[in-house]
Amino acid sequence: MRVEKRTNCHFCGYLCGVVATVEDGRVVDLRPDPTRYPYDERIMAGCRRWRMNLDVLDGEDRVNHPLHRVGQRGSGQWERVSWDEALDGIAGALDGLRREHGPGVLASMIGGPHTSFWPLHRFMTLFGSPNNMGIGQICWNPRIWMDVVTFGWTVEADIRPETGCVFVWGTNPAESDNSLFWRTLLKTGRDPETKLVVIDPRFTRTARAADLWLAPQPGTDCTLALAFLNVIVSEGLYDRDFVEVWCHGFDELVDHVQPYTPEHAAEVCGVDAEDIRTAARWFACARPSALVSGRGIDQVGASVAPTHRAICCLRAITGNLDVPGSCVLADASDFIQEADLELTLEHMDELSARCTNTPYTPLQCYEGYAKVEELPVRYLTSAHPDLVLHAMETGQPYPVRALIVEATNPLLTYADTHRVYRALKGLDLIVVLDYYLTPTAQLADYVLPAAGAIERPTFQAHGGVGNIAYGGAAACAPYYERKTDYEVFRELGIRLGQQDEWPDATFEEAIARTLAPAGMTWEQYCDTGIYFRAPWYQKHEMTDEQMRPAGFATTTGKVELASELLPKLGGDRLPKPATPRMLCSDAFVAARQREGWQHVKLMTGGRKQPYNASMYLNNAAFRAAVPEPVLEMSPRTAEELGFVAGDTVQIASDSGTALLKVATIPMADGVVQADYGWWHPEWPWDEREGGMWTSCSIDQSEPLIGTWSYNAIDCMIRKTEGPLSWDELG
């Protein structure tokens, strides 16, 4: 029997609608479905990933059955076991470790996009462990925290036809997601009435659409933002009415930004002073104006919190806050919120007592979370990897002996591969739920086959901070013996005494329960592909029965340009730039310079299609089109370093080395950008290691959240005649 089913791609977080042709339970064809979210056929026309859905269903390298390690850890020796054998073995080992060491013995690492976050978070909560590691500290959390500290809630860009100016800061949606948002920006860039400013050291595809491209030196974004504020206050371009009524600490801010003139910022940032003035005037005068930021400034270590705080101040003093066409204070969801799905709030006391973050990151912990409401707890309390690795290595403050890894590959994507490798090798139990035998999976005791795109229902709730959810039904039952992550954690939880907290037998039933308070059925959700309610604005002016305005959910009830909360946690009232972190010690630099190496500024982690972090390198077509990792630099920088495009170069720090190929692009001079996350899926497992290995400790990170530096660091560099391993292919 041949039928068509509406489903969703899941090779990025946007879950574009597709129509699958299913014959006898097998998907035989797939096409885009522009009638469902994101409602624009051009998005998938420009995407190279969605076609993978058919290929990976029967991919030769997929994990299709539960595997149990039979040799030494990392030996690559496996036996196929049943699901009952795997889950019974895992549950038995976890129960024994919990009895011996307590519930903090278990840690988890989670990534995406092929996952549902809250089932793992619920399992960890009910197990009693706070040690859930994610990527929040370097992606999303810094902005969310500073929005909440400044405004009382998080904000989202609200780009509309009336928007007069858009700042895109440290993100490249043309490469990172190819989403509806990118199509909106393209339209904005073509509109002569709207000014598009892109702030990024690299001249990205997004920058090509801009009216003005600013290329600051990495890690100087806070200084640049303060210079924008300097121009706006000195030229009287701020929104006087909004500032007078709704902003706290404006006079302090005015005094604070006086030294940050465009000329000072030009010297620090490497950006033309007149371009700084132009951008600031556009943002202040072309109201409403919107601002979008991304991982480029989420990964600058100690400067990340003050940079986001300065951006919050920029929005506020120009009146671009919770008005149409600028940004909107996000609404809480009508459906069950992610904080409630995680069940963390009910267990806050016991989790807080075991939280290793508390003495080190006073925001990114349960005490910090207690100062806000309703946000997803597990994201904003996620354990700092350095502290969890320390507990694995030393048993302090208590032993961490077991690890669950879902949809991530920490051997390649976490800082300091050497350290992660050693820590994982010493554990008693590692469980990996994934599509493939990644380098991390090769160290596991159990590898569990995850149901993939179009084999699983999807529900993306925008990080739990908005009144929107999108996704839909699976096209088919999971092939072979694959399972959804919800099924895995529910069945594992039941074995460990959590049965009362897993009332829904399937993820579909769980989503139906989640949507019910919003008045939407599972069937309606699958048909439309989205739940969405249009935002409402100026919520701070809404009045109660006594006609008192609601204000903002901050200490003062106003936008806190000068923070009353942060000084109590060891932070600053006003944003101050921090010194970029150095990977290379003075002794290392001196020794390498004597050998002919050169010292340069380094960025890493730029998103590039068709890959995503360490994913999709097993796609032969992608590898043919993008065959090797590159080190990007400007033509001027290449000339000064004595390189030409195509040269093989070695970069190094005190922590490790990597080989890459030189590529020249328009970007800030004196900076190099290294690809990351590359590996060889085609190689037999023999514990080969590779990558730019950078160390990361809590002492080297941002002090409130624990963010470490990927984009404002340094390295030594030299040309080498040795081939890349990628050159050996073919």
Q: What pLDDT digit, counting tens, does each position of 3-40 carry?
A: 999 999 988 888 899 999 999 999 999 999 989 888 88
Write down the pLDDT at residue 719.
Answer: 95
Write down the pLDDT at residue 375.
Answer: 67
CATH fold match for the domains 67-137+331-516 and 586-728: no
Least reliable range by pLDDT among 218-227, 352-361, 682-691: 682-691
Respond yes or no on whether the N-terminal peptide bond of residue 684 is cis (omega within 30° of 0): no
- Model pTM score: 0.93
Give DSSP secondary structure letters for 157-171.
Answer: E---TT--EEEEES-
| More reliable by pLDDT, 464 or 663 | 663
The CATH code for residues 586-728 is 2.40.40.20
Write down the pLDDT at residue 690.
Answer: 38
Q: Which long-range contacts (CB under 8 A, 24 or more apart) does 413-417 make?
A: 413/111, 413/135, 413/613, 413/614, 413/676, 413/677, 414/109, 414/385, 414/696, 415/385, 415/694, 415/695, 415/696, 415/708, 415/710, 416/655, 416/693, 416/694, 416/695, 416/696, 417/656, 417/689, 417/691, 417/693
Write down the pLDDT at residue 582.
Answer: 85
Check the CA dihedral 710-716-720-722 and report its sign: negative
The CATH code for residues 2-57 is 2.20.25
Q: Where along the chain do its domains lie?
A: 2-57, 67-137+331-516, 155-329, 586-728
| More reliable by pLDDT, 182 or 590 | 590
| More reliable by pLDDT, 625 or 107 | 107
pLDDT band at 135 (very low <50, low <70, confident <90, very high): confident
Write down the pLDDT at residue 686.
Answer: 52
What would the pLDDT profile of 670-719 be if each residue is shown by its tens digit? Answer: 999 998 878 778 776 554 443 333 445 666 677 888 887 778 889 999 99
Residues in the chain: 730
pLDDT band at 729 (very low <50, low <70, confident <90, very high): very low
Q: Is 337 helix (H, G, I), strand (E, B) or coil?
A: coil
Write down the pLDDT at residue 693.
Answer: 39
Contacts of 521 (CB under 8 A, 6+ apart): 512, 515
> Mean pLDDT over residues 312-320, rounded?
98
- As given in the structure block, the two tokens for residue 331 are 């609404």
Least reliable range by pLDDT among 136-140, 266-270, 311-315, 634-638: 136-140
Write down the pLDDT at residue 177.
Answer: 66
- Sheet of 429-434, strands arranged across: 78-80, 67-69, 446-449, 429-434, 402-406, 106-110, 132-133
Write down the pLDDT at residue 29.
Answer: 95
pLDDT band at 178 (very low <50, low <70, confident <90, very high): low
pLDDT band at 373 (very low <50, low <70, confident <90, very high): low
What would the pLDDT profile of 473-502 be if each residue is shown by its tens digit? Answer: 999 999 999 999 999 999 999 999 999 999
> Mean pLDDT over residues 53-74, rounded?
93
The CATH code for residues 155-329 is 3.40.228.10
Exposure string for 58-79, b = 16+ CB within 10 A, e = fewer: ebeebbebbbbbeeeebeeebe
| More reliable by pLDDT, 727 or 51 | 51
Q: How far apart are CA 146 and CA 595, in angstroms?
A: 44
pLDDT at residue 325 tops 50: yes
Write down the pLDDT at residue 176.
Answer: 75
CATH class, 67-137+331-516 region: alpha beta
C-beta atoms surrounding 180 within 10 Å: 17
CA-nearest of 514, 565, 573 to 368 is 565
What would the pLDDT profile of 415-458 be if each residue is shown by its tens digit? Answer: 778 889 999 999 999 999 999 999 999 999 999 999 988 999 99
pLDDT band at 119 (very low <50, low <70, confident <90, very high): very high
pLDDT band at 335 (very low <50, low <70, confident <90, very high): very high
Write down the pLDDT at residue 728.
Answer: 52
Most confident of 246-260, 354-368, 692-706: 246-260
Q: At residue 133, what are phi and psi to the nearest 5 degrees?
A: -100, 135
Write down the pLDDT at residue 504.
Answer: 98
Check the CA dihedral 146-152-156-157 and report its sign: negative
The answer to whether 179 touches 38, Cβ cutoff 8 Å, is yes
* 500 burial level (CB within 10 Å; 0-12, 13-18, 19+): exposed
pLDDT band at 625 (very low <50, low <70, confident <90, very high): confident
Least reliable range by pLDDT among 466-470, 612-616, 639-643: 612-616
Q: Where are the alpha helices (DSSP H) in 410-475?
A: 410-413, 417-425
pLDDT at residue 618 tops 70: yes
Q: How far apart are CA 317 and CA 579, in angstroms?
A: 26
| More reliable by pLDDT, 702 or 352 | 352
Give the whole-number percent of the chain exceeding pLDDT 70.
96
Write down the pLDDT at residue 687.
Answer: 46
Average pLDDT, the chain: 90
Task: Provide the phi-psi class of 596: left if phi over 0, else alpha when psi is between -120 and 50, else beta.
Answer: left
pLDDT band at 579 (very low <50, low <70, confident <90, very high): confident
- As given in the structure block, the two tokens for residue 252 are 């302090």
The answer to whether 492 touches 98, Cβ cutoff 8 Å, is no
pLDDT at residue 276 tops 70: yes
